[in-house]
Structure 1
Amino acid sequence: MSGLNLSRSWFDVRVEGRNLRSVRKMKLIQIEKRVKALEETVRGLRRPKPRLSRRWYRTHAGRFAHDPVFDEIMKLGQAYRKGQRLLPHLKRP
C-alpha cells in the first residue's frame, strides 16, 4: 500500500471500484477493531456444525400445509414442467 507509515496514527486505504477511486484515512485503532471482528467471525465459521438427525425431514414436513402461496407455486411449477415435455408426435426417434 502506498502511504503506509505505521509511525503515524493513520494510513491511507485505497478503495478501487469500476469507476470509483477514493482514499480514506482510517485510524489504526479502527482497523484493529475491524480485524478483531473479522477474526471472531472466522472463528465462528470454523466451529463444527451441529449434526442433522437422520430423520431431519420430520421437522420440515407439513411446513407449507394450507399455504395458498405455496399451492400457487406448486401449480405454476407443474404447468411449467408439463410445458417442457415433448408431445408424443414430436419425440425424437
Structure 2
Amino acid sequence: MTLAGLQRRGVTSTSINAFVRGIGITRSNLEAGSVIDMEAKKWPDAQIDDASSLYKVPFSNVVYIDHTDFRVKDSKDYYGLAPGKSVLRSNIC
C-alpha cells in the first residue's frame, strides 16, 4: 500500500505517523561471512509455540537464486528479478 492509497481509504496522517513512530527504524549491518539462524514455519498454519513446527534457516548477506528467476534484459511481461527492478517479497514465514 502507498501513503496515498491509505489516505484514500480514510486513514489519517496522524495515525500513519503514530504507526511509523511505533514500529521504529531498524538497521542491520550484516558483516560479510556472518550467518544468522532464523526460525521458519514448516507449513503456513503451523503453531509458533510448537517447537516441532519450526526449523532453522541460515541467513546471510549472500542470496542464491535459480538462473531462471533472473534476466539481464527486463520486459513488461516478466515479473522476476532484473537489473534496476525490485521484486515483491513472499509471505512464506
TM-score of the pair, normalised by structure 1: 0.25
Higher relative contact order (CA 8 A, sep 6+): 2
Mark the structure with the bigger radius of gyration.
1
Q: As a proportion of its length, which structure holds more helix?
A: 1
TM-score of the pair, normalised by structure 2: 0.25
